[in-house]
Amino acid sequence: MLKYRLFINGEFCESDDKKTFKSTDPFSGEEIAEISEAGVSDTVKAVSAARKAFDSGVWSGLPGEERGRIIKQIVDKINENAEKLTELEVRDSGSTVRKAGEDVFLSAKSLNYFSKIASTDFTENIAGLSKEGVSRNLVKYEPVGVCALITPWNFPLKMAIWKLGPALAAGNTVILKPAMETSVTACELARLISETDMPKGVVNIITGKGSVIGTELVNNPDVDKVGFTGSTEVGKTIMQNASSNLKKITLECGGKSANIVLDDADIEMSIDGAIYAAFYHQGQCCEGGTRLLVHEKIFDRFISGLKAKIERMKIGDPKDKSVTVGPVVNKYQFDTVMNYIKTGIEEGAEILTGGKQFGDSGLMIEPTVFVNVDNKMKIAREEIFGPVLVVIKFKDDDEAVAIANDSIYGLAGGVWSGNDERAMAVADRMRTGTVWINEYHLMSDRAPFGGYKQSGIGREFGSEGIKEYMEAKHIHIDEIKDRTKKPWYRTVVPKDL
Ligand code: NAD
């Protein structure tokens, strides 16, 4: 069995009370790793290592090029270990091997982007603020300080990189806390980082319960910023706790995104797109298109095509490259999803396909589609986070937009149409951080990603994303040399006798 320890101040160590927990392969049920379970005292140590490293300037004081060089060493290590990381991600999280391979590739690609960003000088000159010879005004960007990075279980390595990349590029020191369900690749990352020139204490990786070490990270006064991805419920707790010393926060939370198919859409393409939007990674994606809105004119044709294609999806062992639907992450999530299916039936929705466990072991759930759904039903309002899609009929674009926006969430959405102008008009009215037109899930390092409403606060990626890990500082350089010409000369300062 693999064994992983905490990574604090550049050293691997057991937790103070020697506690450990096990990682279990959700498909085979096999225990694959024994991982140290940090407690409050270990968390305090990790925070103080990060604090010391930040205050010493060992990282923020390096030229951006040098920070970029060291971040690039991690990129190279990820690439050299891609096969192993992919295999571990599959076994730890139940991700299909295809999705895990993509995640590892994209993690390295994103981190590479941030290695280059590290040398970017973001300083802006506010031109035209005053007349020439009066003043110059600069905005400089500086690291926030010590950042606690708290990640969920659905994209373990990728989410860790999405936070480490901008935080490190900006010059911060960090404590990364992965989800307990899927900590293995973050622990591997600690090993890879320990083989680079990263100064001690800049990156600390601790594993354990969110309610214990996550809470300590958020409450600890030596932490300046929390970057969190996870559920809206935990996001709200973090917001409350972070107020103790007014920490900066970014929250990337849940969603119930609408994927709208207009009556002029390419039917085959939008059926494929709807399946991809809803069932990628067994539906365990925050931005997933889990509410499918279909125009009444094409509804029957669309639905029968959707059912036929879904029933041909291959469910099974995530290690098999031809499988597109693997297990959900654990028994708790399996029971949660199955309960939502039960609720949907009780609410009066009708199962078009799926609805049952696939096989009798391995935590797999058939891709499930509900029709006859009203947007007021629980299955249309709450994030299920499993392979369950609800389909709602609409009569015109206004109604589609109204249904799409009738949600506490606002993370993402899709529009499928043969008319770009019409699709754009719908996209403009959707209250979400991302809208894909004739596409889904596609993200870019250079485009901001994040939520409106209860889907979160702040953005990842793009210049917006890196600035979440920076403080803006205005520097005013006055150029009026004669004191009697200063604007305040006649207001407060006593005149010369
Ligand atoms: P979760 O909220 O249960 O846990 C997320 C992380 O927070 C874990 O590391 C957990 O240990 C930690 N945590 C739990 N309680 C805490 C507390 N009181 N204080 C501090 N940390 C605490 O989420 P999950 O079940 O791991 O992931 C699924 C959720 O994540 C879904 O809601 C999904 O939509 C969301 N998600 C959002 C995005 C996004 O970018 N918006 C991306 C991926 C996942």
Contact between residue 114 and residue 165 where contact means Cβ atoms under 8 Å apart: yes
Q: Is the beta carbon of 432 within 6 A of some atom in ligand 1?
A: no
Cα(327) to centroid(ligand 1), Å = 19
Kindly compute the dihedral angle of the four CA atoms of residues 234, 235, 239, 240, in this order, to the nearest 10 degrees: -20
Nearest ligand 1 atom to the CA of 231 is 32
C-beta separation of 157 from 189 below 8 A? yes
Task: Decide whether any atom of ligand 1 lies within 6 Å of the 387 Cβ.
Answer: no
Q: Distance, CA 337 to ligand 1 centroid (Å)?
A: 17
Q: Which atom of ligand 1 is nearest to the CA of 209?
A: 11
User: Ligand 1 centre and the CA of 242: distance in Å?
Assistant: 16
Distance of alpha carbon 395 from alpha carbon 223, whole angstroms: 51
Q: Atom 8, ligand 1: which residue's CA is nearest? A: 179
- Whether residue 204 contacts residue 50, with contact meaning beta carbons closer than 8 Å, is answered with yes
In whole angstroms, what is the distance from residue 441 CA to residue 229 CA? 17
Q: Does 220 contact ligand 1 (Cβ within 6 A)?
A: no
Strand partners, 75: none
Predicted confidence pLDDT, tens digits, the chain (497 residues): 999 999 999 999 999 999 999 999 999 999 999 999 999 999 999 999 999 999 999 999 999 999 999 999 999 999 999 999 999 999 999 999 999 999 999 999 999 999 999 999 999 999 888 888 899 999 999 999 999 999 999 999 999 999 999 999 999 999 999 999 999 999 999 999 999 999 999 999 999 999 999 999 999 999 999 999 999 999 999 999 999 899 999 999 999 999 999 999 999 999 999 999 999 999 999 999 999 999 999 999 999 999 999 999 999 999 999 999 999 999 999 999 999 999 999 999 999 999 999 999 899 999 999 999 999 999 999 999 999 999 999 999 999 999 999 999 999 999 999 999 999 999 999 999 999 999 999 999 999 999 999 999 999 999 999 999 999 999 999 999 998 888 888 788 777 65
Instruction: Give the pLDDT of residue 496.
Output: 65
Distances (CA, A) of 64 to 11, 69, 119: 25, 9, 4
Q: Is 436 close to ligand 1, i.e. is its CB under 6 Å away?
A: no
Distance 69 CA to ligand 1 centre (A): 31
Q: What is the pLDDT of residue 489?
A: 80
Alpha-carbon Rg for the chain in angstroms: 25
Q: Cα(405) to centroid of ligand 1, in Å?
A: 23
Q: How far does the centroid of ligand 1 lie from the alpha carbon of residue 233, in Å? A: 9
Q: What's the gap in Å between 179 CA and the centre of ligand 1?
A: 7
- Return the active site residues: 252, 286
| Closest C-alpha to ligand 1, atom 28 | 230
User: Of all atoms in ligand 1, which is nearest to the CA of residue 153?
Assistant: 26
Mean pLDDT of the chain: 97
Q: Which has the closest alpha carbon to 120: 469, 444, 434, 433?
A: 469
For residue 186 and ligand 1, the question of a CB distance below 6 A is answered with no
The rounded Å distance from CA 230 to ligand 1 centre is 2
Tokens found for residue 71: 């971040």
| Ligand 1 binding pocket includes 179 (Cβ within 6 Å) | yes
- Atom number in ligand 1 closest to CA 234: 2
237 lines ligand 1 (CB under 6 A): yes
Residue whose CB lies within 8 A of the most ligand 1 atoms, among 205, 243, 286, 290, for a mutation test: 286
Does the C-beta of 151 come closer than 6 Å to ligand 1? yes
Tell me the whole-structure pTM to 2 decimals: 0.97
Tell which residue, 362, 470, 420, has the closest CA to residue 140. Answer: 470
Give the residue whose CA is nearest to atom 42 of ligand 1: 286
Is the distance from the beta carbon of residue 385 to the nearest atom of ligand 1 less than 6 Å? Answer: yes
Atom of ligand 1 nearest to the CA of 180: 11
Cα(180) to centroid(ligand 1), Å = 10
CA distance 442 to 88: 24
- Distance, in Å, from the CA atom of 38 to the CA atom of 49, rounded to the nearest integer, reads 15
pLDDT tens digits, 408-459: 999 999 999 999 999 999 999 999 999 999 999 999 999 999 999 999 999 9
Instruction: Please tell me if the CB atom of residue 152 comes closer than 6 angstroms to any atom of ligand 1.
Output: yes
Predicted pLDDT at 312: 97
Q: Please work out, in degrees rounded to the nearest 5, the angle formed at the alpha carbon of residue 202 by the alpha carbons of 196 and 206.
A: 95
Nearest CA to ligand 1 atom 23: 230
Q: Specify the ligand 1 atom closest to the Cα of 155.
A: 43
Q: Is 270 in the pocket of ligand 1 (CB under 6 A)?
A: no
283 lines ligand 1 (CB under 6 A): no
Instruction: Tell me the pairing of strands 248-252 and 225-229.
Output: parallel
Q: Could you tell me if the CB of 238 is within 6 A of ligand 1?
A: yes
Cα 490 to Cα 285: distance, rounded to the nearest angstrom? 62
Q: What is the 3-state secondary structure (H, E, C) of the chain?
A: CEEECEEECCEEECCCCCCEEEEECCCCCCEEEEEECCCHHHHHHHHHHHHHHHHHCCCCCCCHHHHHHHHHHHHHHHHHCHHHHHHHHHHHHCCCHHHHHHHHHHHHHHHHHHHHHCCCCCCEECCCCCCCCCEEEEEEEEECCEEEEECCCCCHHHHHHHHHHHHHHCCCEEEEECCHHHCHHHHHHHHHHHCCCCCCCCEEECCCCHHHHHHHHHHCCCCCEEEEECCHHHHHHHHHHHHHHCCEEEEECCCCCEEEECCCCCHHHHHHHHHHHHHHHHHCCCCCCCEEEEECCCHHHHHHHHHHHHCCCCECCCCCCCCCECCCCCHHHHHHHHHHHHHHHHHCCEEEECCCEECCCCCEECCEEEECCCCCCHHHHCCCCCCEEEEEEECCHHHHHHHHHCCCEECCEEEECCCHHHHHHHHHHCCCCCCEECCCCCCCCCCCECCEECCEECCECHHHHHHCCEEEEEEEEECCCCHHHCCCCCCCCCCCC
Res 131: pLDDT: 86
Q: Which atom of ligand 1 is nearest to the CA of 333?
A: 25
